Amino acid sequence: MLIDEAQWFARMLGVIDIESISPMLNVGSSTGEFRERQPWIEACIFQPFRDRGGLVLNLDLKDAPGVDIVGDLADAETREKLAEHGFRSVFCANILEHVRDRASLCEAILSVLPEGGHVFASCPSSYPYHPDPIDTMFRPSVRELTASFPGTSVLHGETIECGTYARYAFRNLASALRVAGRLGMPFYKSAGWKMEVDHLPWFFKQFEVSCLVLTKSGESKTEAVEQTGTPAPLQSTLLRA
C-alpha cells in the first residue's frame, strides 16, 4: 500500500461511525512482518481504528505471525468460519490485481457482509508489474473497480496520486541503499532484480490508485466520483519511517 492511499482510507474511516464498520476483516493481509515494512498502514489505518474501539482481524493464506485467520475466501468452510465473527466491513487493498478470478473473490467478500456492510477497496490504476505471486495487470478506473462489486452503492471513490518511485526509493537511507544494492546484483534472485528494473520508468512518474468505499445495498449501482488528486498529508513523518 502507498502512503497517500493509506491516508485517504484514514480520512474515510474517520468519518464513519465505528459501530457500523467493526469488526473489520482485512483480506489478504499478509504477515505482520510484511506490514511492518509499510508502517503507514498501521499508523494511518489500523491503529486509529483500534483506538476508536474497533476490532480488525487479518485473513491470509499464510499461517504466520500477524495472521489472525488462515484460510481462502474461495473455500466455503472458510466463509462459514468468517460468518461467526459478524463482520460489518471488509478491507481489500491491492489484492484484485493478484488473483485470476476477481469476480469470485468479490462475490465472496460481499457474502461475509450483511446488507449495509462496508467494503473499503483499492487497486492500482497506474503502477508497474509486481507479481505476488502473479500480477494480471488489472489496472481499473474507479468505475471499473466499482463494477467488480455488483450489488453495492458508492459512498466515495477517487483516483489518488501517490507519488513516484523516487519518493519511496529514497524515503530514507536504508531504503536507498537497499534499492541501489539490489540494482547492482542482477544475478542474485533475478526476479527481484527485474522487479526493481520494472519500477525505473516510474522514477518520476506518478503512481495512481483507485480507491473506493462501498455499501452492500442489494442493488447494482456504479456511480462514483471520478477524481484525481494528491490528498494533503496527515502525518509528514511517515515518509521518514
Instruction: Give domain status of residue 15, yes or no.
Output: yes
Query: 119 and 81 share a domain?
Result: yes
pTM of this structure: 0.84
Instruction: Give domain status of residue 238, yes or no.
Output: no
Query: 15 and 133 share a domain?
Result: yes
Own/partner long-range contacts of 102-106 (Cβ < 8 Å, ≥24 apart): 102/138, 102/148, 103/148, 104/74, 105/73, 105/74, 106/148, 106/149
User: How many other C-beta atoms lie within 10 A of the C-beta of residue 100?
Assistant: 8
Q: Which residues constitute the domain of residue 198?
A: 164-205
Q: How far apart are CA 66 and CA 30, in angstroms?
A: 8
Name the strand (E) or helix (H) holding 212: strand 208-216
In the predicted model, what is the mean pLDDT of residues 96-104? 94
Instruction: Give domain status of residue 150, yes or no.
Output: yes
- For residue 5, name the pLDDT band (cuts at 50, 70, 90): very high
Query: 181 and 76 share a domain?
Result: no
- For residue 133, name the pLDDT band (cuts at 50, 70, 90): confident
Query: 108 and 182 share a domain?
Result: no
CATH code at position 16: 3.40.50.150
Type of residue found at 91: F
Q: How far apart are CA 143 and CA 136, in angstroms?
A: 18
Query: 102 and 200 share a domain?
Result: no
pLDDT for 234 beyond 70: no
Query: 125 and 14 share a domain?
Result: yes
Query: 34 and 66 share a domain?
Result: yes
pLDDT for 168 beyond 90: no
Q: Omega before 201 cis (within 30°)?
A: no
Domain count, the chain: 2
pLDDT for 91 beyond 80: yes
- For residue 35, name the pLDDT band (cuts at 50, 70, 90): confident
Percent over 70 (pLDDT), the chain: 86
